[in-house]
Structure formats: C-alpha cells, structure tokens
Amino acid sequence: MSQLQPPLVETDADLSTLNTLRLPARARRLARPATLDALEQVLAERAPAEPLQVIGEGSNLVINDDLPGITLCPAMDGMARVKEDAQFVWVAAGAGVHWDDLVAWTVEQGWQGLENLSLIPGTAGAAPFQNIGAYGVELSQVLEQVTVMEVATGRVTHFAAEECAFAYRDSRFKSRDRGRYVITGIELRLNKIPACNVSYGPLKEYFGHLPNDEISPASVRERVIAVRQSKLPDPAVLANAGSFFKNPVVTASKAGQLKKSFPGLVGYEQPEGIKLAAGWLIEQAGWKGRRLGPVGMHIEQALVLVNHGGATSDDVLALASAVRRDVWERFGVSLEQEPILLP
C-alpha cells in the first residue's frame, strides 16, 4: 500500500522555523516542490496576480509581516559529479541541498574551490541569488551555471556564470530579475589539483608559513570552521541572520580621510575602491554586544544582529536603523542591510 503524499501546498503555514532570526510570521500558502514537475504544477496553478516569494532556509531574511500569496521553498535534492577532465571536475546540486553539505562532500572528494565557503548557512539555490562569499572567495569564482524555471512560462533555462550579473552579494536574480525566475539547481567547476586561496586575514596568519602544495582543501575547511565558530553564533542556538550589513565600499580619498582620524580603520583594496569592515565601524560606534530590547549586536562579532528571544521584525528594523544612524554620524559612511526584507 503506497504512503499518502503530503499536500503540495500548505495553507496558513508557520514560518518561524523557516527564518533563522526566528521572527513570528505565517505564509498564506507554502509549497516545497522537490521536483521540476512539482514546481511547474505549483506555478501553473498560481493566479497571475497572486504574490510570490521564494525562500531557502531563511538564513538571509527579515520577514516583516505574514506573507501573502504563495511562498516557494524549493526542495530539489541531490549532488553529483557531472563530468571531469584532467584539471577540473563539474558538480551539480539541487536548489534544496544544504550548502555546507555540498561543501563537505566536495572537500571529502579532494576537490578544491568551496572550502573557504564552509559553514555558510542556507541552501545551494540561495547561494547564487546572494553570490555568497567569505575569506577571499565568492561563489561566482567557481560557478559554471545556474538552472532556473521562469515563473510566467514554466520554461527551464540555464544561465552561465557570466550571464548572472554577479557583484558583491548581488546577482541578476536578486536585482533586475527578482521574481522572474526560481532557481532549481547549480553547477560548479572545481579544481582537481588544489590551489587553495589563503590570502585573507586569519587564513593568511595560519597558513602563511606553508608552501601552497602543503595546504589542502580539508585543512582550509577545518580552519574556516574553527574561525567561524569562534566568532559567529550558531543560528540553532542564538537566532540570527549572519552578517546584517554589507561591507561598504568607499573611494580611496574617503578611506584616506578616515584613516587620518581613525588610524585603526580596517579596509581592503578592491577594483571599485576600498572595502571597509562594517563590523569594525559598528564596534567603534559603540554597538558591539549592545542590546536594544530583545535584539542586539553580537558580543563577539558586531556585524551580526541577534534575537535574544521574543523579537519582532519591528525590533530588528529599529536596531538596524539605530546602528546605521550612529555609524553615519561617526564616520559619514552609509551601511546597507544585507538580509532581504519580505514581503
């Protein structure tokens, strides 16, 4: 006797466990399609004017109110080696795959490219939306293509990395084409012969004395996990959405002026200017470890906004506004919120 399948669409669904800030919210309708056919069915049955939101594990969200219309949580699973040559291996993953499971699997195979992105929360499908990055590496550097389904037509399309308009924590899926496509899977191109990037901060300090051929993806992953766990709260223990603000980029002239007034200013040269460490700015503005009601900036990493329990989106947005105001008044630098605000 076959088991009954759960309904394709839930009504009045609780979202408090589908956002890592643990904000109270509900979805009028929630679908978790695990196949392309199921996603196509949900989209075909949706009224053209019905609001649509797409979420992953909710690790980069501020849910500001109950979500109208239909909320999609793509659940396509599976990881596989697609092809390989002497230098590279191509790996595919479904949009619903937990990101760090994908990283761990590739590192276990000895393939290099994702180890710096270890322990980033979220799904494989959310990774290109945000162009996730950490410790000197961004997803765009290893991404081969993104598979999507067009909302209006149900047509499946593949976008090569160069077609995704990747930028710092941005992509076409987050900006100009937001709401037009649902990401269903990704394909990555990884190195079979490791060439680990340990040029960034704590990795350089730890591995700097070693020749490159003695640095393995597994050792870099191990170090990244240790650093992240020492500085960043586990969302399962203390509700948070990771880095709450983007690192602002200013002109070299502006950075030079700030450096004169604040010799300890932390910044990194980028093609577009100087990227300042938002966490340092927030700490210097007096917000590290400080609370405003049930929310606060983390005691170890001032860039992370945490929910100590019982917070609402109003609490989160009030704290974010206060932090932005104080950083602006002290440094004349504007901070941009990283998590997406829904609806």
Q: Would you call 172 a catalytic residue per the annotation?
A: no
> What confidence category does residue 7 fall into, taking pLDDT thresholds of 50, 70 and 90?
low
- pLDDT tens for each residue of 168-226: 999 999 999 999 999 999 999 999 999 999 998 899 999 989 998 899 999 999 999 99
CA-CA distance, 234 to 232, in Å (whole number)? 7
Q: Quickly state the pLDDT bin for 279 (edges 50, 70, 90).
A: very high
2 is a domain residue: no
H or E segment and range at residue 99:
helix 99-108
Q: Are 67 and 26 in contact (CB under 8 A)?
A: yes
Q: Which residue among 171, 243, 283, 324 is the active-site one?
A: 243
Q: Give residue 8's pLDDT.
A: 81
Alpha-carbon radius of gyration of the chain = 21
Q: What is the pLDDT of residue 3?
A: 43
Establish if 249 belongs to a structural domain.
Answer: yes
> Does 55 have pLDDT greater than 50?
yes
Residue 62 domain flag: yes
Among candidate residues 72, 96, 118, the one where a domain is terminated: 72
Q: Is the pLDDT of residue 42 over 50?
A: yes
Does residue 97 sit in the same domain as residue 183?
yes
Same domain? 295 vs 221: no
Residue 123 in this model has a pLDDT that exceeds 60: yes
Rounded CA-CA distance 8/38 in Å is 8
CATH number of the CATH domain containing 304: 3.90.78.10
- Domain end call among 183, 214, 231: 231
For the segment 59-86, the average pLDDT, to the nearest whole number, is 97
CATH number at residue 29: 3.30.43.10
**338 counts as catalytic:** yes
Looking at the domain assignment, is residue 4 inside a domain?
A: no
Residue at a domain's end among 206, 231, 256: 231
CA-CA-CA-CA torsion sign (113, 122, 321, 310): negative
Separation between Cα atoms, residue 126 and residue 70, nearest integer Å: 18
Of the candidates 317, 331, 239, the residue with the CA atom closest to the CA atom of residue 278: 331
- 1 falls within a domain: no
Same domain, 137 and 278: no
Average confidence (pLDDT) over 31-55 = 96
Q: Helices 217-231 and 99-108: crossing angle, nearest 10°? A: 150
Average pLDDT over residues 243-248: 97
- Average pLDDT of 271-297? 97
State whether 131 and 91 are in the same domain: yes
Task: Let me know: does 57 contact 165? Beta carbons within 8 Å.
Answer: no
Nearest to 168 by CA among 287, 39, 271: 271
Confirm whether 169 is a catalytic residue.
Answer: yes
Domain that holds residue 249: 239-342
Give domain status of residue 47, yes or no.
yes
In the numeric block, which tokens belong to residue 82? 């697609």
Single out the catalytic residue among 169, 189, 221, 223.
Answer: 169
DSSP three-state, residue 22: coil
Main-chain phi, psi angles of 333, to 5 degrees: -120, 130
Q: Is 143 in contact with 128 (CB distance < 8 Å)? A: yes
| Number of domains comprising the chain | 3
For residues 200 and 90, membership in a common domain is answered with yes
Lowest mean pLDDT among 2-11, 176-185, 226-235: 2-11
